[in-house]
Structure 1
Amino acid sequence: MAEIFLPSYFRAGRDSADAETGTARLAVLLAVHGIVWTIASALYRSNLDWAGDMLENYTWGIAWQAGYHKHPPLFAWMTAAWFTVFPHTDVAYFALSVANALLGVCGVVALAHRFLPAREAAVAGLALAVSPIYTTLAIKFNANTVLLSLWPWTAYFFVRYIQTGTRKAALAMGAAAGLAMLGKYFSVALLVGLLLAGWARPAWRARLLQPQALLAVMAGAIVLWPHMRWLVDHGMPTFAYARDRMHEIARPLPAVAADMAVYGLVQVAYLLPSMAFVLLLAGHARGRAAKLMLHGYVRRSLQRDLWWLAMGTFLAICALAMVTRTHLSSLWGNTQWFAITVFWLAVLANAGVRLDMRRIPVVMAVYWALTLALSAGGGYLKAVHHDRLAMEPRQALARAAHDAWDRGTAQPLRIVAGNDKEARAVSFYARERIHYWDVLDPAATPWVTEADVRREGVLFVCRDDDAHCQRAASSFSGEEPMTITVHKTTWGIRMPERHYVLFLLPPGKPAGADVTTARMTAPVAP
């Protein structure tokens, strides 16, 4: 069994035919899986996410900045690039979320193939593909879920360097690590976890201490350089945001310890569908397989190299939580399990447990049917019970706001402001590129200046119950408010009407007040 853990290029002659066939079958399965989950997301959700992160991604991305006041820029760039090709619809956005998750699954397969034959590597990817981590929790594309695609590939290039030691592998490892940091600074947990795994194994440690490892540092620095320069030029706003967030959720050490216990149990629960997938393929040996997989969490001796790779990032996250006394959100750690199914399958192979690959099409077909049925049923019930997200008429509001602008001016709409979700919806569902401007915190949208607003004009979109937004819009624009009423219909059910207040400042018309006055006029948000 030891040869299973040799680098894949030593096995190329033996399983190249299996790899070619398996790759084609895996590609078909993943393509169908992606289509099913895109449709399921559209059936279950009649809007994008409640918090408006996905709308924020878009309005950030179309500005193409080297950084943004909350996060590094990669996920916003990905969103902007996607929508230069695809239409501005919810379905297209769900497809981006699914594509990101599937890219991560491919990274898991590539990582697994460094240790396992092609067919077992494909099973490792499919097992994670059916978990909530890479499906329901991945649909909200943001700074957390972008790591689903970045972390597995970073781990893959790490292992490739460990196994080969080449300069090319070192450069790829460093570039991948840099991209992970451009996704979210939380990727430092991944890097610490990989270093922990590398340091725990003597052969791996020796590779990390070779001079070629400095090439990885150089490649990572090159990838990060534009963002690092942006940070210096803009006064480190992302670090200030992270510091404020940590202060908001700092907790006593006993509470952090309790959080970690709950966090670990939730993570195990998220992985239960992946475990069930493997057990269904194990047939009559599923009892023994389940025992081995569960023991794997605490027994390094079952396969030491892969145990550290699978658990190193988990240990790093727990250590960081203790040091910073931060509440552990289960969503933060979902991306850490890129190697757990690889570890499981290696342990089962060492124990002589064989998987019946012929069951995969049937298992996946049943899973897809259940996914579509449950998504349709859940979406319909949300509409019947007037779920708050289902009721929001974001697309209808965007159309009505554009119609109001077209009636009031002869110029195209270039800038929109107001309540963040509502104004960003007007930007996202537009036919052309429209920038969102934060009138109360212009530093958050520095690509739009007050001079741009006065020259291009602006449309303020406020909820009818938000006097804060209306007062700021009225003060800046000096215009009379316009009230519009819109509603949406989903699953054939008419949702309750919503009312919004618009303020139209046409291009070139003098504004009523400057930004400072508008901020002073509006009350401070609670």
Structure 2
Amino acid sequence: MTQTAILIETTADSPSDSAAEPVALRLLALLPVHAVVWTIAAWLSRGNLDTQGDMVENYVWGIEWQAGYAKHPPLFAWITALWFRVFPHIDIAYFALSALNAMIGLLGIVALAGRFLPRRLAVVAGLAMAVSPLYSNLAIKFNANAVLLSVWPWTAYFFVRFMQTGGWRSALALGALAGAAVLGKYFSVVLLVALLVALFVRPVWRTRLLGWQSLLVAGAGLVILLPHVHWLVTHHFQTFGYAEQRTRGSTFLTAIGRYCIYTLAQIGYLLPSFGFVVLLVDKARLQAPKRMALNYVRPSTCPDLWWLALGPLMMVGAIAVAARTQMASVWGMAQWFALAPLWLVTLQHASVSLRVERAVRVLIVYWLLVLAGAAVAGYAGVRRNTDDAAEPRAELSAAANAIWKQRTGKADVPIVSGAVHEAQSFAFYTGRHTRYWDMASPQATPWLRVDDVQRQGALIICPGDDSRCNAEATALSVAQPVSLDIGKRAWGMTLPLRHYHLYLLPPALDDRWSIRQYIPRYGRLESQ
């Protein structure tokens, strides 16, 4: 163990830190408040869950309880399905899930920081990351990227705990969480490689490889991953094809340029957290930023944390440049779990004191600005009639469900299809066990076959101007579609009506439609 680590552990066990326990608890209570603020802010600013449709896609995947899906491994879809077995199918409940996921990740940062810092400073590390867009605005769209916010910090925590103690419980937890990280998104290989590199470059940590406990790490990870590995083999590695589509690269120089842009985006995401820590500095406020920034190139203060903080970024660069792949800045949103702890260790090593109680006032100002900005953004979106604000997804779902009941006499729609966002939104908002079938790319929803649609019946929803969707629906149903004009009210304003076509496919054989006429003509998956 390094000299710095010994000093920090002694400090953490000191009587002064025990006296500061109430301070740490009061600061920790700010994280649930932060989650509530961002739940309300998302509800104020957004007229729908997300314009890309990731969140309703999570839901329709999750209710099928598959070991894998066409685009991604299953963890975030399972979490979504579990959540909505308890909570109502409304936007604010989904935003609460997103905020809770981010809060769990922030608690993981606090736990990780606690291995190197006194408790009150460990909590400050979590609060500092809370104000970053990574754990706030970007985290509200719960998807394959956002789920890593909660998994990666806890994986790193149990990695450090295992390295420091060698305990078998830590080994099992590390293996299970490493497996869960891969089930969240294959990008988690970056984290695992970074942890492996950190293990080899730190001599004290390297000795853990020789212990029998390391077998528990591998065994636990394998147990978690086995069902998905079986699914991959059974489905001919379908998700790998999608990942290749999303990461297809070009030239070596282009890959380097994209990595530079990626890194600059990460710096931008981290600036609010950096500023938060600086605002808490009691004295030497001009020296503190310099010391924090210089520590990026001077790992000697706390090498353990340095490798955890910057290792993932280096691994991303090495893999992306070698594979000449495209990159999105949000892919790295979970990788900064150790950076705020590293800043605080640097300041503590330099004897720079922090007024941690100032964090309450800073966050109150931040929350007020967030809520005010969210209200302005939501109102402005309605005034401009943007798709995010004006698209009547919930209203369309309610109206379409009522028409189905009226025309068929059946309470529930067994299967829904059509335009992806509208159909998946219908399944989410009705909350009546409606399953989604992708009629354009049936291989994306293998849990339903064409004969299931014929036997059970289905509702197809298409925007009036979506010629592709209407052509596919016409190939299924010879009956005339039901035309529907529907809009929504928001912020006291009535938004323009939008035009839709509903195609009702009655269950069992019926002369109003013929399944034999259907031939899927489109095989492209929408991007997430």
Name the TM-score class by shorter chain.
over 0.9
Equivalent residues in 2 for 1:439-518, closer than 5 Å: 439-510=439-510, 512-514=513-515, 517-518=518-519
Q: CA deviation at 1:508?
A: 2.0
1:284 aligned counterpart, secondary structure: coil
- Supply the distance in 2 between the matched residues of 1:18 and 1:178 (Cα, whole angstroms): 38
* 1:21 match: 22
For 2:298, the aligned partner's letter is R
* 1:163 match: 164
Q: Deviations over 1:332-388 (max 9, x none)?
A: 111110000000000100000010012111111111111111111111111111222
* 1:414 match: 414
Q: CA deviation at 1:302?
A: 2.9
Contact 2:397 2:430 in 1 (8 A): yes
Give unmatched runs, 5+ long, in structure 2.
none
Q: Deviations over 1:180-228 (max 9, x none)?
A: 0000010000001111111111111122343321211111000011111
- Supply the distance in 2 between the matched residues of 1:523 and 1:308 (Cα, whole angstroms): 43
Q: Deviations over 1:106-155 (max 9, x none)?
A: 00000000111100100000000111110011111000110000100000
1:504 aligned counterpart, secondary structure: strand
Aligned: 1:322 with 2:321: yes
Contact 2:76 2:143 in 1 (8 A): yes
Q: CA deviation at 1:11?
A: 4.4
- Supply the distance in 1 between the matched residues of 2:436 and 2:357 (Cα, whole angstroms): 52
Q: CA deviation at 1:22?
A: 4.3
| Bigger mean CA offset, 212-221 vs 201-210 | 201-210
- Supply the distance in 2 between the matched residues of 1:396 and 1:514 (Cα, whole angstroms): 29
| Bigger mean CA offset, 198-207 vs 77-86 | 198-207
Q: Deviations over 1:215-269 (max 9, x none)?
A: 111110000111111111111111121122223xx12111111112222121111
| Bigger mean CA offset, 296-305 vs 141-150 | 296-305
For 2:424, the aligned partner's letter is R
Contact 2:12 2:119 in 1 (8 A): no
* Cα distance change, pair 524–56 in 1 and its aligned pair in 2 (3 A): closer
| Bigger mean CA offset, 22-31 vs 489-498 | 22-31
| Bigger mean CA offset, 38-47 vs 444-453 | 444-453
* 2:392 match: 393
* 2:268 match: 269
2:304 aligned counterpart, secondary structure: helix
| Bigger mean CA offset, 488-497 vs 133-142 | 488-497
- Supply the distance in 2 between the matched residues of 1:260 and 1:194 (Cα, whole angstroms): 21
Give unmatched runs, 5+ long, in structure 1.
none
1:357 aligned counterpart, secondary structure: coil
Contact 1:450 1:515 in 2 (8 A): no
* 2:520 match: 519
* 1:66 match: 67
* 2:225 match: 224
Q: CA deviation at 1:18?
A: 4.6
2:334 aligned counterpart, secondary structure: helix
* 1:42 match: 43
* 1:301 match: 300
* 2:83 match: 82
Q: CA deviation at 1:97?
A: 0.5
Contact 1:178 1:220 in 2 (8 A): yes
Q: Deviations over 1:263-319 (max 9, x none)?
A: 212111111110111111103321111001111222222322211110001100111
Contact 1:47 1:90 in 2 (8 A): yes
* 1:336 match: 335
Contact 2:441 2:525 in 1 (8 A): no
For 2:338, the aligned partner's letter is A
Which aligned runs of 4 or more in structure 1 are off by greater than 6 angstroms? 522-526
Contact 1:109 1:121 in 2 (8 A): yes
User: What root-mean-square deviation, in Å, do the aligned CA atoms of Structure 1 and Structure 2 show?
Assistant: 2.0
* 1:56 match: 57
- Supply the distance in 1 between the matched residues of 2:524 and 2:191 (Cα, whole angstroms): 38
Equivalent residues in 2 for 1:427-442, closer than 5 Å: 427-442=427-442
| Bigger mean CA offset, 31-40 vs 297-306 | 297-306
TM-score, length-normalised on structure 1? 0.95
- Supply the distance in 2 between the matched residues of 1:515 and 1:267 (Cα, whole angstroms): 52
Q: CA deviation at 1:2?
A: 4.3
* Cα distance change, pair 407–114 in 1 and its aligned pair in 2 (3 A): same
Q: CA deviation at 1:4?
A: 5.3
Q: CA deviation at 1:10?
A: 9.2
Equivalent residues in 2 for 1:167-182, closer than 5 Å: 167-182=168-183
**Identity across matched positions, percent:** 49
Q: CA deviation at 1:524?
A: 8.6
1:332 aligned counterpart, secondary structure: helix
Equivalent residues in 2 for 1:241-252, closer than 5 Å: 241-247=242-248, 250-252=249-251
* 1:115 match: 116
* Cα distance change, pair 3–319 in 1 and its aligned pair in 2 (3 A): closer
* 1:191 match: 192
1:461 aligned counterpart, secondary structure: strand
- Supply the distance in 2 between the matched residues of 1:10 and 1:281 (Cα, whole angstroms): 20
Q: Deviations over 1:14-51 (max 9, x none)?
A: 46735752453234211111111111111111111111
For 1:402, the aligned partner's letter is N
- Supply the distance in 1 between the matched residues of 2:276 and 2:186 (Cα, whole angstroms): 32
For 1:473, the aligned partner's letter is A
1:286 aligned counterpart, secondary structure: coil
2:85 aligned counterpart, secondary structure: coil
Q: CA deviation at 1:512?
A: 3.0
For 1:468, the aligned partner's letter is R
- Supply the distance in 2 between the matched residues of 1:70 and 1:453 (Cα, whole angstroms): 23
- Supply the distance in 2 between the matched residues of 1:107 and 1:218 (Cα, whole angstroms): 23
* 1:423 match: 423
Q: CA deviation at 1:513?
A: 3.5
* 1:361 match: 360
Aligned: 1:103 with 2:127: no
1:416 aligned counterpart, secondary structure: strand
| Bigger mean CA offset, 66-75 vs 191-200 | 191-200
Contact 1:144 1:332 in 2 (8 A): yes
Contact 1:440 1:515 in 2 (8 A): no
- Supply the distance in 1 between the matched residues of 2:209 and 2:15 (Cα, whole angstroms): 30
Q: CA deviation at 1:13?
A: 6.6
Contact 1:162 1:208 in 2 (8 A): no
- Supply the distance in 1 between the matched residues of 2:363 and 2:371 (Cα, whole angstroms): 12
TM-score, length-normalised on structure 2? 0.95
* Cα distance change, pair 366–444 in 1 and its aligned pair in 2 (3 A): same
Q: CA deviation at 1:9?
A: 9.6
